[in-house]
Amino acid sequence: MRVLITLPPDTSHLNPVLPLAWALRGAGHEVRVASHSALTDEIVAAGLSAVSLRGAEALPPIESVADFIAGDEEREELTNALALDPADRAPWDFFSYYLIAALRIFHPPDFDPDHAHPMADDLMEFVQHWRPDVVVWDPIWLSGGIAARACGAASVRLMWGPDYCGWTYERFDERRAVLPPGVTNPMEACARPLAERYGLEMDETMLLGHVTIDPIPAEVRLSTRQRTVAMRQLPSTGGGGVVPPWLRTEPDRPRIAFSLGAAQRKYEQDDASMIATMLDAFAGMDVEVVATLNADQLAGQQVPKNVHTVDYIPLDHLLPTCSMIIHHGGGGTYTVGAALQVPQVVLAVDPESGPYARRITGVGAGLYVDPAVLSVAEIRSRLQQVLTESSFREGAAALHADWQAEPSPNEVVRTLEQLAANIPEPSGAGLLEGATR
């Protein structure tokens, strides 16, 4: 079986696909990973075969996502058109603020189908030549779904977080008959010019795939009608790393890991005040803290003597020596904590942290802390609580058991084999506006 994995040029989007890619390779399948040339070296370092897509210089870097955020007037128009219940606003707010921008970086809705699109054209040329049986694609990388349709491959989305795209598609689909003139699903608006360029009729599968692989814990997964395959997300840091000598001996007092994730620094989040608050809290504790903060995050900060800063260290190297991890609530960091049975404290610094925080607190594996609301003394007290109360270690063990019960990437490979042997034919169900229903 030939499997093409395609994704945007971003490390935080590459790492979640690696366990599945390695499992496919281990099962004897051919695997290629296609992305912009900016990610080629990292793909190769992970031991995989890269397809370097041309045209990276012609498109803005993913770090410039803020430049593509929908304006207040557009967001208000879309929000009003959906007539959402206030209880449903959280997924839409995340999609409309962050994911519209991410989609538009690589799939401009004003793209002229008669003009060249170097990235998508290169991807299309490759799939027509290599003829993959399965295309696994990132939910914001709509070119993957379009390429799968063009070559007749099984189309599989691989999630890195909650399925905001699937949830949003369904909200627009429910309102399709009553949407005001000119209002359309931003996903459709982004994909349509490329579909037209390649002579393809759009339908739901092009935007959502035949199957969605979802590593989000089932208890906090967004409810959609998509065919979903659960998969245990494994800790992954790409090319690995060298375990430093200081991690080879046990610490003489409790060690805490403090990490805000790669995405926080890439998108230049303003975390200075929160970092200062956390450093103040650490200063009054009899602990050793290993903080994965870079020079920009440390600029102007007073680092206590009990805090050891490192620009980067794979968390699966660090956490076996730790009694707790404090983090931003990202899926990758959550996964390492769950896999290694380490109690977790999630900080209210990332809009996407909610699902993981709910899962962690729901099984008693940690706490949710908002440094903007709590005093330094209150934060310190809550951290001390997680360190000393045995119930949090028991909760971490329960979280680990639930995580381990999810299907492994090896099991998901068998599902993909079955899908490739029985690829559904394109149907008229769910045809998008402009097509014959």
pLDDT digits (tens, 9 = 90+) for 172-213: 999 999 999 989 999 999 999 999 999 999 889 999 999 999
Of 30-39, 40-49, 63-72, 324-333, which range is least confident? Answer: 63-72
Question: Which band of pLDDT confidence, cut at 50, 70 and 90, is reported for residue 63?
Answer: low
- pLDDT higher than 60, residue 273: yes
Task: Write down the pLDDT at residue 87.
Answer: 79
Retrieve residue 271's tokens. 């975390």
Retrieve residue 145's tokens. 């779904």
Q: What is the mean pLDDT of residues 234-256?
A: 85
Phi, psi of 195 (to 5 degrees): -60, -45
Question: Which band of pLDDT confidence, cut at 50, 70 and 90, is reported for residue 269?
Answer: low
Question: Which band of pLDDT confidence, cut at 50, 70 and 90, is reported for residue 365?
Answer: very high
Task: Write down the pLDDT at residue 307.
Answer: 97
Question: Which band of pLDDT confidence, cut at 50, 70 and 90, is reported for residue 402?
Answer: very high
**Nearest-angstrom CA–CA distance, 298 and 276:** 9
Q: What is the mean pLDDT of residues 129-136?
A: 97
- pLDDT higher than 50, residue 432: no
Give the 3-state DSSP-derived string for the chain, with helices as H, strands as E and coil as C. CEEEEECCCCHHHHHHHHHHHHHHHHCCCEEEEEEEHHHHHHHHHCCCCEEEECCHHHCCCHHHHHHHCCCHHHHHHHHHHHCCCHHHHHHHHHHHHHHHHHHHHHCCCCCCCCCCCHHHHHHHHHHHHHCCCEEEECCCCHHHHHHHHHHCCEEEEECCCCCHHHHHHHHHHHCHHHCCCCCCCHHHHHHHHHHHHCCCCCEHHHHHCCEEEECCCHHHCCCCCCCEEECCCCCCCCCCCCCCHHHCCCCCCCEEEEECHHHHHHCCCCCHHHHHHHHHHHHCCCCEEEEECCHHHHCCCCCCCCEEECCCCCHHHHHHHCCEEEECCCHHHHHHHHHCCCCEEEECCCHHHHHHHHHHHHCCCEEEECCCCCCHHHHHHHHHHHHHCHHHHHHHHHHHHHHHHCCCHHHHHHHHHHHHHCCCCCCCCCECCCCCC
Q: Which residue has the tokens 């390492």?
A: 336
Task: Write down the pLDDT at residue 427.
Answer: 43
The closest of 279, 275, 274, 277 to 307, measured between CA atoms, is 279
- Residue type present at position 243: V
**Nearest-angstrom CA–CA distance, 48 and 270:** 35
Task: Write down the pLDDT at residue 265.
Answer: 60
Question: Which band of pLDDT confidence, cut at 50, 70 and 90, is reported for residue 437?
Answer: very low
- pLDDT higher than 80, residue 8: yes
Question: Which band of pLDDT confidence, cut at 50, 70 and 90, is reported for residue 67?
Answer: confident
Question: Which band of pLDDT confidence, cut at 50, 70 and 90, is reported for residue 426?
Answer: low
**Nearest-angstrom CA–CA distance, 268 and 430:** 39
Task: Write down the pLDDT at residue 435.
Answer: 32
**Nearest-angstrom CA–CA distance, 300 and 378:** 24
Question: Which band of pLDDT confidence, cut at 50, 70 and 90, is reported for residue 352?
Answer: low
- Residue type present at position 416: L
Return mean pLDDT, the chain: 89
In this structure, how many other beta carbons lie within 10 angstroms of the beta carbon of residue 221? 17
**Nearest-angstrom CA–CA distance, 427 and 11:** 35
Task: Write down the pLDDT at residue 430.
Answer: 36
Task: Write down the pLDDT at residue 218.
Answer: 86
Retrieve residue 404's tokens. 């381990």
Q: What is the mean pLDDT of residues 273-290?
A: 95
- Residue type present at position 268: E
Task: Write down the pLDDT at residue 433.
Answer: 39
pLDDT digits (tens, 9 = 90+) for 25-45: 999 999 999 998 889 999 999
Question: Which band of pLDDT confidence, cut at 50, 70 and 90, is reported for residue 429?
Answer: very low
- pLDDT higher than 80, residue 369: yes
- pLDDT higher than 60, residue 77: yes
Q: Which residue has the tokens 């002579």?
A: 199
Gyration radius from the chain CA atoms: 22
Question: Which band of pLDDT confidence, cut at 50, 70 and 90, is reported for residue 243?
Answer: confident
Yes or no: say if 156 and 418 are a contact pair by the CB < 8 Å rule: no
Retrieve residue 254's tokens. 């409790």
- When mean pLDDT is compared over 60-74, 149-163, 268-282, the highest value belongs to 149-163
Task: Write down the pLDDT at residue 436.
Answer: 27
- pLDDT higher than 70, residue 257: yes
Task: Write down the pLDDT at residue 263.
Answer: 62
Task: Write down the pLDDT at residue 171.
Answer: 95
Q: For residue 382, what are the β-bridge partners?
A: none
Long-range contacts of the stretch 75-84 (C-beta < 8 A, 24+): 77/180, 77/183, 78/183, 78/186, 81/175, 81/179, 81/180, 81/183, 82/171, 82/172, 82/175, 83/175, 84/171
> Any idea what the Cα angle at residue 36 is, between residues 66 and 411, rounded to 5°?
100
Q: For residue 309, what are the β-bridge partners?
A: 291
Task: Write down the pLDDT at residue 393.
Answer: 98
- pLDDT higher than 50, residue 162: yes
- pLDDT higher than 70, residue 22: yes
Residue 389 to residues 287, 384, 394, 397: CA-CA distances in angstroms? Answer: 15, 8, 9, 14
Task: Write down the pLDDT at residue 302.
Answer: 94
- pLDDT higher than 70, residue 381: yes
The closest of 157, 264, 247, 267 to 204, measured between CA atoms, is 157
Q: What is the mean pLDDT of residues 310-314?
A: 90
- pLDDT higher than 70, residue 336: yes
